[in-house]
Amino acid sequence: MPHYFQLLSRFASLGPESREFLLKARVVGRCMDFFFGKASPYRETFSDMSGLGPTRTTEQPEIGLPTNVNQQTQSYFQVLQERRRRQCLSGATPKYKYLLELVSFCVRHLNVGGAGLGPHWLDPGRAALATFVDAQEADIYAPVAAFLTRVFAAAKRNRSMWAVARAHCHYASQDPEQLEELFRTVQAGLE
């Protein structure tokens, strides 16, 4: 799963056009909904994919079929090793580094406040969107202490924390009420 978000994060880093496209596809809300899982308040809203266009499926992939492994030629050790690998993968905690980085790129594209200010704004003078496309995206993105606690627990490295911090600083930079709420949330999360 991290590779999917890594690809989207790299796409978002290409430029303002790609970030605008992702924001119009409501990627922030969808990613935050995925991050929160069953605790998301807008589960049914962001699970609806009808606005993204038709879904195309094929029975067989176009790039070729994977080769079948002959089970009889595998040794007992190879089978045991594969079983252990699958158990480790199923029990591993998911990595959210690229998901948080993707959300940060998209939020920092927004022209928050319309003033075009802020130390972490990525596209000065080029961002047309001043807010999220959907009101539920702003609600699900608004920082709460439980979210920040979960982000810090899920972040294995500083890269995730930097991405979240920059995005929230940019989002709250022009709104005194939002900045005060961010300060209260961080203070509650630290206590």
> By percentage, how much of the chain surpasses pLDDT 90?
1
Q: Please count the CA atoms within 13 angstroms of the CA of 117 that sit on its side-chain side.
A: 6
What integer pLDDT is reported at residue 19 of this predicted model?
A: 87
Number of domains forming the structure of the chain: 1
Residue 18 lies in a domain: yes
What integer pLDDT is reported at residue 11 of this predicted model?
A: 92
List, for residues 81-113, the tens digit of each pLDDT value: 888 888 876 766 667 788 888 888 888 888 776
Residue 52 lies in a domain: no
Supply the range of the domain harboring residue 22: 2-45+94-190
List, for residues 125-138, the tens digit of each pLDDT value: 666 676 777 777 77
Residue 80 lies in a domain: no
Residue 65 lies in a domain: no
Q: Are 185 and 143 in contact (CB under 8 A)?
A: yes
List, for residues 155-190, the tens digit of each pLDDT value: 666 777 788 778 877 777 767 777 777 777 777 766
Q: Are 113 and 19 in contact (CB under 8 A)?
A: no
Tokens of 101: 């980085």
Residue 182 lies in a domain: yes
Residue 62 lies in a domain: no
Residue 99 lies in a domain: yes
Q: What share of the chain is helix, strand, coil (3-state, %, to 5)?
A: 65, 0, 35
pTM of the model: 0.70
Kindly state the average pLDDT of the residues 142-149.
Answer: 69
What integer pLDDT is reported at residue 188 of this predicted model?
A: 72
What integer pLDDT is reported at residue 180 of this predicted model?
A: 79
